[in-house]
């Protein structure tokens, strides 16, 4: 649009009252799109980090909360605060995720609007700044590609990194506009550090700020450094903070959904990522089909490596070429490509492809489409400005409605693990992990025959998967085939010698066969690998009690309850040991505690009745 057109008096401009209402449209749209996600249960790694994470169940000492994932302490603190406020009520966790997402959208709206009002772009976009900012933020907040980031609770790490990066950039813009620059720049550095403590993808933030400053604020690298030297010293200094966080991070626990990338060479990862990036970009434009777990194969053939590689190299070339001529659109291209670098380059991360990695890059794609559409409406169609504005509103509203409906429909796949993994198997039938996890979900619902069919398919596709062997063993235990279950547990341990859960499950199977000393040995091995696991302490207590080692069993029950206070079985079996040793009153207290935790606990209820008759308690 020419400067003259931009100042055309017929060009619609929102009144202050309308402008104040625009953020509410973003909020309402986001709530409408994600309202049906609030009741979705904890799924997959949510269980590991929330339901089975004793560290978040207290806020003090704070170090105990933060060290459970020292690379992402802000995420752990947010989960601990969530637990302090609402316990295990899943709605509260979804509400926090949605609130962070909506906050990011509002910051994005303000950031784009202020960017379009800078001296670089005011002549071209000044009259349309609020509307264009609304279009980008609205389409982004309801885009179906973001459902994994928002609805999957543990992806709060992605949400927090996103909100802190946008906040960092927003504070820099506000600092450039006001005489109180130091306050805003200090806030930018603090936000950047908080983002680094949320997810390592934030490593790119100082570079993004520098590019933005060069294009929209300072006009040159030299000027940016001269005007904001201390800001950049703080931003680049946050890399030291990130390095310290990563260096202090403990070994990550096993994920419950079976996500793990092992023994993938950096070269294999790197040559596969161009195809993944192109897939991300296609989903940004046409978000279907969405897949929770791609189990993306390594690119092996020449066409799978060369063709996507040439296209992605071309995208970088276009961005660099455009940078020399029209830096603003080049910045949007570089926004997309640079933010994907930490996860889509040569560094092997949790999986080859994951939709949540597009949370921030999607902003650049949406902005390019919106501004491209605005340019077409302005230059190609010879219609009055108000008519162009009306056509644009209809187009944006239509796409936003389609996206919101798509997001709401996608949220329905998060209703249960069974629904989600059925969806993944339907879309990716060669995905061994999907079959394994669908088998696990079926087993959890008691459908062991159906579960075994998917386990068999998973092992056919990937016979060396230790977790699948472990889950097969669990199903075989449920149907009473203990010898077969033990064989699968031993195979899981052979494939993954540090697989604590397999040792624990093997111990359970051995204990059911009456082989208590062998079972205790397996539980001890599990605890050596994961000492802070309440269930294993409980199982070891049972194995010791079976051998008549009462005092040792009580010590294990006490450890289990210290880690997980809500274990009625531990109180009940502790009471059994005390009864056998003649400590009647203490046993009665533990039976009562078991019933207080679970009023339907039949074992504790019967033991209290037997206690009155001084009978031997049952397990």
The pLDDT tens digits of the residues spanning 512-563 come to 999 999 999 999 999 999 998 999 999 999 999 999 999 999 999 999 999 9
pLDDT above 60 for 603: yes
Q: What local confidence, expressed as pLDDT, does residue 539 receive?
A: 97
Q: Distances from the Cα of 146 to the Cαs of 40, 404, 519, 575, in angstroms?
A: 16, 11, 45, 50
Rounded Cα distance, 124 and 436, in Å: 55
Higher confidence at residue 346 or residue 284? 284
Residue 65 and residue 58 in contact, taking contact as beta carbons nearer than 8 Å: yes
Angle at 370 between CA 366 and CA 376, to 5 degrees: 145
What is the architecture, at CATH level 2, of domain 422-559?
Alpha Horseshoe (1.25)
- Can you list the positions of beta strands (E) in 480-541? none
Q: What local confidence, expressed as pLDDT, does residue 263 receive?
A: 58
Residue 610 and residue 587 in contact, taking contact as beta carbons nearer than 8 Å: no
Angle at 18 between CA 12 and CA 21, to 5 degrees: 140
Give CB contacts under 8 A, 24+ apart, made by 180-187. Answer: 185/228, 185/230, 185/231, 185/234, 186/234
Q: What local confidence, expressed as pLDDT, does residue 301 receive?
A: 94
Neighbours of 145 (CB within 10 A): 27
Residue 506 and residue 489 in contact, taking contact as beta carbons nearer than 8 Å: yes
Asked whether the bond before 289 is cis by omega within 30 degrees of 0, the reply is: yes
Residue 393 and residue 133 in contact, taking contact as beta carbons nearer than 8 Å: no
Show the tokens assigned to 407: 């997001």
pLDDT above 70 for 65: yes
Over residues 162-188, the mean pLDDT reads 95
Residue 173, classified by CB atoms within 10 Å of its CB into exposed (0-12), middle (13-18) or buried (19+), is buried
Over residues 271-279, the mean pLDDT reads 97
Q: What local confidence, expressed as pLDDT, does residue 6 receive?
A: 41
The pLDDT tens digits of the residues spanning 414-459 come to 999 999 999 999 999 999 999 999 999 999 898 988 999 999 999 9
DSSP-derived 3-state class of residue 195: helix
The pLDDT tens digits of the residues spanning 489-508 come to 999 999 999 999 999 999 99
- Rounded to two decimals, the pTM is 0.87
Q: Where are the domains of the chain?
A: 266-380, 422-559, 566-619
Neighbours of 429 (CB within 10 A): 11
Residue 250 and residue 67 in contact, taking contact as beta carbons nearer than 8 Å: yes
pLDDT above 90 for 107: yes
Over residues 235-254, the mean pLDDT reads 81
Rounded Cα distance, 202 and 238, in Å: 10
Residue 263, classified by CB atoms within 10 Å of its CB into exposed (0-12), middle (13-18) or buried (19+), is exposed
| pLDDT band (50, 70, 90) for residue 617 | low
First to last CA, the chain: 79
Measured torsion, CA atoms of residues 478, 482, 488, 492, in degrees rounded to the nearest 10: 80
Rounded Cα distance, 598 and 602, in Å: 9
Rounded Cα distance, 224 and 392, in Å: 35
pLDDT above 50 for 259: no
pLDDT above 70 for 4: no
Residue 537 and residue 559 in contact, taking contact as beta carbons nearer than 8 Å: yes
Residue 136 and residue 374 in contact, taking contact as beta carbons nearer than 8 Å: no
């Amino acid at each position: 649009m020419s400067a003259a057109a931009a100042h055309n008096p017929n060009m619609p401009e929102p009144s202050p009252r309308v402008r104040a209402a625009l953020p509410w449209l973003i909020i309402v749209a986001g709530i409408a799109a994600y309202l049906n996600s609030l009741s979705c249960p904890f799924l997959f790694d949510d269980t590991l980090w929330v339901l089975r994470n004793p560290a978040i169940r207290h806020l003090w000492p704070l170090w105990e909360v933060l060290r459970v994932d020292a690379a992402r302490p802000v995420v752990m603190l947010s989960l601990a605060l969530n637990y302090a406020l609402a316990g295990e009520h899943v709605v509260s966790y979804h509400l926090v995720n949605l609130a962070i997402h909506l906050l990011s959208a509002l910051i994005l709206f303000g950031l784009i609007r202020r960017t379009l009002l800078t001296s670089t772009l005011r002549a071209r976009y000044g009259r349309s700044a609020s509307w264009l900012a609304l279009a980008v933020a609205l389409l982004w907040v309801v885009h179906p590609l973001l459902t994994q980031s928002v609805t999957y609770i543990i992806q709060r790490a992605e949400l927090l990194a996103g909100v802190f990066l946008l906040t960092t950039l927003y504070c820099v813009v506000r600092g450039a506009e006001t005489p109180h620059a130091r306050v805003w720049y200090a806030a930018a550095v603090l936000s950047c550090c908080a983002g680094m403590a949320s997810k390592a993808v934030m490593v790119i933030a100082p570079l993004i700020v520098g590019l933005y400053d060069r294009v929209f604020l300072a006009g040159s690298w030299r000027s940016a450094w001269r005007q904001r030297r201390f800001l950049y010293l703080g931003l680049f200094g946050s890399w030291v903070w990130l390095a310290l966080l990563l260096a202090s991070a403990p070994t990550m626990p096993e994920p419950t959904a079976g996500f793990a990338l092992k023994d993938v060479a950096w070269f294999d990862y790197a040559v596969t990522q161009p195809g993944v990036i192109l897939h991300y970009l296609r989903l940004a434009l046409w978000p279907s089909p969405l897949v929770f777990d791609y189990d993306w194969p390594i690119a092996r053939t020449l066409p799978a490596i060369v063709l996507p590689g040439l296209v992605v190299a071309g995208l970088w070339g276009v961005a660099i070429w455009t940078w020399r001529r029209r830096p603003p659109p080049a910045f949007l291209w570089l926004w997309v490509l640079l933010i994907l670098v930490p996860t889509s380059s040569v560094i092997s991360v949790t999986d080859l492809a994951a939709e949540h990695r597009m949370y921030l890059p999607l902003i650049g794609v949406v902005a390019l489409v919106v501004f491209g559409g605005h340019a077409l409406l302005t230059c190609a169609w010879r219609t009055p400005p108000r008519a162009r504005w009306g056509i644009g509103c209809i187009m944006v509203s239509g796409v936003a409605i389609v996206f919101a409906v798509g997001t709401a429909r996608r949220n329905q796949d998060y209703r249960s693990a069974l629904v989600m993994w059925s969806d993944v198997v339907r879309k990716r039938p060669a995905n061994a992990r999907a079959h394994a996890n669908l088998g696990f979900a079926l087993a959890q619902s008691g459908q062991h025959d159906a579960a075994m069919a998917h386990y068999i398919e998973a092992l056919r596709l990937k016979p060396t998967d230790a977790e699948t062997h472990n889950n097969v063993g669990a199903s075989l235990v449920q149907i009473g085939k203990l010898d077969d279950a033990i064989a699968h547990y031993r195979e899981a341990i052979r494939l993954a010698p540090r697989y604590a859960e397999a040792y624990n499950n093997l111990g359970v199977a051995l204990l059911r066969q009456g082989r208590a000393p062998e079972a205790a040995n397996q539980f001890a091995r599990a605890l050596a690998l994961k000492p802070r696991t309440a269930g294993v302490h409980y199982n070891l207590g049972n194995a010791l009690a079976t051998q008549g080692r009462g005092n040792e069993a009580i010590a294990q029950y006490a450890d289990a309850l210290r880690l997980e206070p809500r274990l009625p079985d531990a109180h009940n079996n502790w009471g059994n040991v005390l009864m056998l040793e003649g400590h009647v009153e203490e046993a009665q207290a533990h039976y009562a505690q078991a019933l207080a935790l679970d009023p339907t606990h039949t074992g504790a209820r019967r033991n209290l009745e037997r206690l009155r008759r001084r009978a031997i308690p049952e397990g």
